[in-house]
Structure 1
Amino acid sequence: MFEAEKARAATWFRSLRDEIVTAFEALEDRHYGDAPAGRFELRETRRASDDGSDAGGGLMSVMRGGRVFEKVGVNVSEVHGHLGEAAQKAMAARGVPGIEQDPRFWASGISLVAHMQNPHVPAVHMNTRMFWTPNAWWFGGGSDLNPCIEYAEDTAHFHDVLRDHCASHDPDYYPRFKAWADEYFFIPHRGRARGVGGIFYDDLNTGDWEADFAFTQDVGRAFLPAFLGVVERRRDQPWTDADREVQLIHRGLYAEYNLVYDRGTKFGLATGHDANAVLMSLPPLAKWV
């Protein structure tokens, strides 16, 4: 049961990866610079299982030192196996039925984080995923913008695109998932958000798999028009050493969040997925005061 749905979801995440990678390399080609246009390096990843059996894996795609992107990763994965005791308890606490009696799972998704050369161009994060257990399934994901130097028009553009893509599915989705993102991407020990938000959702199961999958696809489709509009506006804007200092300090904030609070980072490391792929989100350089 659900084998066809799993296959469709995994295929979609892979096709979205291909579309984004192509768009980002085209952006590198359009941007004038002394450095060569950046290109993604690809590496297969595997999930480690306790007994050495096949537990799935994925594709890690990373571009470093490009004209526009200082570091960007676009990873896809499809993994399966048995959840450990800690993960079982965490999911049981979230209301996943039967997980402690039958800890089998399957998960597939795409995860993207981009750190930019120009401090005026914001960092960005996007992911979507499907999770299955013998007694439940759900979708999750979202995207959020992380500028070190904020521009109101950039924030408005990013949120407007997300709102439009949410609206065709449920008028409540954007306000509900924006509020969730504001709460989820908050850094308690700093008393502030890590960026200007976006949308975030998890445990999405309305009982209609097709509808929930269609919405998750549209969250993925919204990413390029939401982000590239901002990049095109800022990629040629002059910047100073002081701007770079602000960028590096803000990246420290981003790293703190991902290492301390991010649910996906914790899950990936706890379930034996390739550590380099899980930690792809970390910036190439950061600074703390």
Structure 2
Amino acid sequence: MSAPFEAEKSRAASWFRSLRDEICTAFETLEDRHEDEALPPGRFELSETRRKSDGDSDAGGGLMSVMRGGRVFEKVGVNVSAVYGQLGEAAQRAMAARGVPGMDSDPRFWASGISLVAHMRNPHVPAVHMNTRMFWTPHAWWFGGGADLNPCIEYEEDTAHFHDTLRQACMPHSPDYYPRFKAWADEYFFIPHRGRARGVGGIFYDDLNTGDWEADFAFTQSVGRAFLPAFLGVVERRRHQDWTAADRDAQLVHRGLYAEYNLVYDRGTKFGLATGHDANAVLMSLPPLAKWV
């Protein structure tokens, strides 16, 4: 299976990089448009990342793009990567438990994707997460990803706009996708030790392999394209809204909840650290400031 998939791997990695470029440009444009005499418009700082792997002279890497202290974005990271090599024993067992065949005989893998987390300056603007990815082994391939909204102060119209945009992105591919992947997000982004959801959900999917690579790639592209209209519509509605010290306190407490989830439960965090990817890139999702009560 390995040789025929080189073209598909290249196309997927190039797509994730182009989506990263589009999103970063849109976010910097928003920074320019937001009037704030006290702050200069935020800009992304770029750094290359490398995966560490015993015995692999080249195990891949990526590009970490982080904006800090912006007018609209207090911290936002948009990372892309393409990593490869051999999975360690723990990762092999985890893959085997998910039903991936052949990991004991051939633990090679390749993975590429984009991961985004934005923590906003105005507490009325929700934090947001999005990622899409492709994973390959000599015995299987699949896509995964999704997006979810994480307000500390919820507005029903914002939640409705975000979900409606994702629903429209899903519908041309399958009428089953949005309800199924919304339910998966509700389950996945639940925090058991707090007994509550991390936010107001979105969609989440993994292990997507219908047998038609082109169709599954097209769906993953639709999810990526839907992100900016889903999120920027909410940002435009809230970015000028006045906020109080109590609003800021609520935001910091909610960020603590977000950090707990990402450090304890998030699959991407666990996989990135377990496979030797750059720790700063893996932990890019953590907020700049947070508090616990």
TM over 0.5: yes
Taking the aligned partners of 2:204 and 2:103, their CA distance within structure 1 comes to 24
Taking the aligned partners of 1:260 and 1:53, their CA distance within structure 2 comes to 31
Which residues in structure 2 correspond to 1:140-155 (within 5 Å)? Answer: 140-155=144-159
The answer for the alignment partner of 1:229 in structure 2 is 233
Which residues in structure 2 correspond to 1:201-280 (within 5 Å)? Answer: 201-280=205-284
Question: Is it true that 1:30 corresponds to 2:20 in the alignment?
Answer: no
Taking the aligned partners of 2:234 and 2:104, their CA distance within structure 1 comes to 45
Distance 1:25 1:157, change over 3 A: same
- Helix, strand or coil: the match of 1:269? helix
Question: Is it true that 1:21 corresponds to 2:28 in the alignment?
Answer: no
What letter matches 1:6 in structure 2?
Answer: K
Please report the TM-score for the alignment, with normalisation by the length of structure 1: 1.00
CA deviation profile, 1:186-209 (whole Å, cap 9, x unmatched): 000000000000000000000000
The answer for the alignment partner of 2:97 in structure 1 is 93
Structure 1 residue 175 displacement after superposition: 0.1
Taking the aligned partners of 1:165 and 1:254, their CA distance within structure 2 comes to 26
For the aligned residue pairs, the C-alpha RMSD in angstroms reads: 0.4
| 1:4 counterpart (4, 7, 10) | 7
What letter matches 1:288 in structure 2?
Answer: W
- Helix, strand or coil: the match of 2:282? helix
- Helix, strand or coil: the match of 1:255? helix
Contact 2:87 2:275 in 1 (8 A): yes
Structure 1 residue 39 displacement after superposition: 0.2
Taking the aligned partners of 1:75 and 1:164, their CA distance within structure 2 comes to 26
CA deviation profile, 1:138-170 (whole Å, cap 9, x unmatched): 000000000000000000000000000000100
| 1:51 counterpart (47, 50, 55) | 55
Gaps of 5+ in 1: none
- Helix, strand or coil: the match of 2:71? coil
Taking the aligned partners of 2:141 and 2:59, their CA distance within structure 1 comes to 19
CA deviation profile, 1:53-84 (whole Å, cap 9, x unmatched): 10000000000000000000000000000000
The answer for the alignment partner of 1:199 in structure 2 is 203
What letter matches 2:219 in structure 1?
Answer: F
Structure 1 residue 185 displacement after superposition: 0.2
Which residues in structure 2 correspond to 1:118-157 (within 5 Å)? Answer: 118-157=122-161
CA deviation profile, 1:80-121 (whole Å, cap 9, x unmatched): 000000000011000001112110000000000000000000
Gaps of 5+ in 2: none
| 1:76 counterpart (62, 80, 85) | 80
Question: Is it true that 1:159 corresponds to 2:163 in the alignment?
Answer: yes
CA deviation profile, 1:189-231 (whole Å, cap 9, x unmatched): 0000000000000000000000000000000000000000000
- Count of aligned residue pairs for this structure pair: 289
Which residues in structure 2 correspond to 1:164-203 (within 5 Å)? Answer: 164-203=168-207
Q: Percent of aligned pairs with the same residue?
A: 87
- Helix, strand or coil: the match of 2:52? coil
Structure 1 residue 52 displacement after superposition: 4.9
Contact 2:56 2:85 in 1 (8 A): no
| 1:104 counterpart (96, 108, 114) | 108
